[in-house]
Amino acid sequence: MREIVVFSGSAHTGLADRICADLGVGLSPVEIHRFSNDCLQVQLQVNCRQRDVYIVQPLVPPTQEHLMELLLMIDAARGASAAQITAVMPHYAYARSDKKDASRISIGGRLVADLLVAAGVDRVLTMALHAPQVHGFFSVPVDHLTAIGVLADHFRATDLTNTVVVSPDLGNAKTATQFARLLGLPVAAGSKQRLSDDRVVIDAIVGDVAGKRAIILDDEIATGGSIIELLDRLKDIGCTEAAVATTHGLFAGKAVERLRSHPSITEVISTDTVPRPDGFPELQVSSVSGLFAAAIQRIHDGESVSSLFDGVDPTHAPPQPKLPF
């Protein structure tokens, strides 16, 4: 069996350390040097020849810097004759750029996928893509993990009487429905229109939320604009209070200030796919390192990764018999 070698860029070494601890392997050192002309150079400090190399690097701000680090590490591993190179990207930032919805607009999700493949990656391991169709942008295998089981475990330890799961928009309603089923709760969703990067309008709520406590589930919180708008609409129609849960807690701009000061919020929980923000001691963080470690081990051993979703995501259930023609 080939040896596992794990490297990390500078984006989130804390998560890489936790994944390695769960795997029972050491995090291998990387030297990243910046020249006077601002170009980066990467040198992997451990032998990669005929080894399975895993490079942990979420795309978080400064996103372009961390993307370039990842591409250079993949290129270095390929040049060092690695047997297989897997990019472990807990947060794939460019998944938001998944379609041509305006004239002469770039589709960053596809471009970044092409860059990773051109650099030499053999496989991608990621979590909670903002747009699931980005999975299809890659010409190499992609293992797409979900954190809803981890988030559901947090709420199972609380009183869920008279509670409803609420999605900020209809696009996330399928995931919210799966999450609600794990908790045995009803589900509702907002009808959202995005005006700009940090401005949205929610003009209706589909579902019964009056007099109930809400658990708002979103795959990613950046500026917090959608969450605040949803909280205000929920309050208008009689929702008493809300907990906020997300996989990718980026909390950019004024998000921390917005969420900490809103009177309807009882708690905010995120996973550690991205680094913890400063100035948010109330934030509760559940680690997904165990999921990534289990996926890496299964990939290395040639075992099924979909079994990690048993009872969590029916999309990854065993194949069903097909009807005869």
Q: Rounded to whole angstroms, how far apart are CA atoms 180 and 266?
A: 19
Phi, psi of 148 (to 5 degrees): -65, -30
CATH level 2 (architecture), domain 148-286: 3-Layer(aba) Sandwich (3.40)
Query: Which residue ranges in the chain fall short of pLDDT 70?
Result: 1, 194-199, 313-325
pLDDT of residue 99: 85
Give the active site residue among 99, 174, 192, 212: 192
Tally the C-alpha atoms within 13 A of residue 207's C-alpha that lie toward its C-beta.
Answer: 24
168 contacts 195 by C-beta, under 8 angstroms? no
Q: Rounded to whole angstroms, how far apart are CA atoms 239 and 144?
A: 34
Q: Are strands 40-44 and 30-34 parallel, antiparallel or unpaired?
A: antiparallel
85 contacts 102 by C-beta, under 8 angstroms? no
DSSP states along 224-242: SHHHHHHHHHHHHTT--EE
Phi, psi of 307 (to 5 degrees): -65, -15
Q: Which segments of the chain belong to CATH 3.40.50.2020?
A: 4-145+288-309, 148-286
CATH level 2 (architecture), domain 4-145+288-309: 3-Layer(aba) Sandwich (3.40)
pLDDT of residue 182: 93
What does pTM read for this prediction?
A: 0.92
User: What are the contacts of 22-27 at 24+ separation with CB within 8 A?
Assistant: 22/289, 22/290, 22/292, 22/293, 22/294, 23/293, 23/296, 23/297
pLDDT of residue 100: 85
182 contacts 147 by C-beta, under 8 angstroms? no
Single out the residue of 1, 86, 9 nearest to residue 43, CA to CA. 9
Our answer to whether residue 99 is catalytic in this structure is no
pLDDT in tens, 191-202: 877 656 556 777
Question: Which tokens hold the place of 292?
Answer: 């990534």
pLDDT of residue 316: 58
Sequence-ordered list of residues with C-beta below 8 angstroms from that of 181, at least 6 positions apart, any chain: none
Single out the residue of 252, 221, 204 nearest to residue 96, CA to CA. 221
Q: Rounded to whole angstroms, how far apart are CA atoms 79 and 42?
A: 12
Sequence-ordered list of residues with C-beta below 8 angstroms from that of 100, at least 6 positions apart, any chain: 107
SS3 49: strand
pLDDT of residue 322: 59
pLDDT of residue 307: 80
pLDDT of residue 317: 54
Sheet of 4-8, strands arranged across = 4-8, 52-56, 84-89, 123-127, 142-145
Question: Which tokens hold the place of 289?
Answer: 């390192």
